[in-house]
Amino acid sequence: MVAYGNYLWVGEFKFSSRILRFSYGPLTSVEDNKLLPEKFNLKQNYPNPFNPSTTISYTIGTGQLTAISKVVLNVYDILGRKVATLVNREQPAGNYKVNFDASKLGSGVYFYRIIANGNKVNFVKTKKMILLR
């Protein structure tokens, strides 16, 4: 992988060779894969208890050569009803934060669950949070 000007050049050399050029505007940096997290993780929201919003942090790891994972992060009430979808997209390995605004919900216990499906890795984890009015 080489950055030159406004382009990122990616090459693959095996039995047949491919070179791809990507242009996304000015390139500011290229992240070294050695710095990418290997493990998936869902952290406790902060603050907890919260009113009316909180931040949920999670890590998408490289797993076993997984470059991109399909990530779904939902919030459920105490009865198991889905009250919010915070993330529903493919994401590359890295650390992420998402804000949850519960201003239209009542006080109580809520659960947030992440499901990340990559090439060879499936990660599912649920945590509890408390909304106090």
C-beta of residue 8 within 8 angstroms of C-beta of residue 30: yes
Domains of the chain: 2-30 (no CATH), 36-131 (2.60.40.3880)
Residue 67's pLDDT is what? 66
Q: What's this model's pTM, rounded to 2 decimal places?
A: 0.71
Strand runs (DSSP E) across the chain, as ranges? 2-4, 7-13, 17-23, 41-42, 53-60, 68-77, 82-92, 94-101, 108-117, 122-131
pLDDT digits (tens, 9 = 90+) for 21-36: 555 555 555 555 556 6
Query: 3-state class of 34 per DSSP?
Result: helix
- Closest C-alpha among 65, 133, 69 to residue 104: 133
Residue 24's pLDDT is what? 57
- Closest C-alpha among 86, 90, 96 to residue 70: 90
pLDDT digits (tens, 9 = 90+) for 76-98: 999 999 999 999 999 988 899 99
